[in-house]
Structure 1
Amino acid sequence: MKSILIILLFSTSHTGFSQIIDNDSMSMALSQLVSYKIDYEKLKRDAELNPERYSKSRDSLYAVYVAQCNKIKSKPDQYLKYIDWALQRTELSDEHIFYNYVDMTEQFDANKYLISKRKLYLAIKYILLVKNEDVLPEYL
């Protein structure tokens, strides 16, 4: 009887941990998406100033950015479920991240470039998973 109870506990704890790991991987994928978007915007600006030096890097990073969008769009049910779950967390409104590339050598208005994770998740849900756009818009 003890061995059955121990086996049952191990099997249920494993599924609980796998759910946490799965949620973390989805959160990481959404964060990487925004990171790739910002990196692409920086190289896009640099390529406008110096095309010979940055055009290839810009194009390859754009391919990585689009691939990340496609990765998320390839599992719409899973990401919709995760985003809906995450939107129920109240602290998501308090967490802010950059949505656009910011040239840190100049003064900038943080409100123009920062977005709450809640709004970001809503944008990703609507733009990529509902409207099925290729990439996120440069500005929201």
Structure 2
Amino acid sequence: MRRERIRSTPSWRKHGPRRDCAFAVEDQHERGFRGMSVVRMQMFFSFTHDGVDYPCALVDWFKKVGRSPDPDTGMWIVEPQMKGCSRLTTIIHLDTLLRGAHLIPVYGNGHIPVGFRYSHSLDTFKSFHVNKYIDHHANEIAF
């Protein structure tokens, strides 16, 4: 892979916001997903301090559920990380991002309402599978 686009925009093709997720490296000495978390991009920006440019992102964090992948699916499960009643949102340097991540909702037994918009998925569901089957690179990362 030579390059990949990770997007965050309030309007994607006139159908609501698009807020991509990505793998953020937290501990580069841990193997695979154990040293990472999933973050959701809210905004990209940069600033200059003492003549140095700092490319950054405002992100929402997801935390791992358990210490290993789900035994039924082989995929890690994450849920939004909360601080009180709000999602944990911080600013990170773009160098901490490894690549885009694909999350699949843990649907449960209920029905999805007619007319449900995909753009609301990350705000509606309580937990998500980190899809390691989306491509070869994700399979090597999210084990």
Query: TM-score interval w.r.t. the shorter chain?
Result: under 0.3
Normalising to structure 1: TM-score of the pair? 0.25
Greater per-residue strand proportion: 2
For the pair shown, which has the larger CA radius of gyration, 1 or 2?
1
Normalising to structure 2: TM-score of the pair? 0.24
Greater per-residue helix proportion: 1
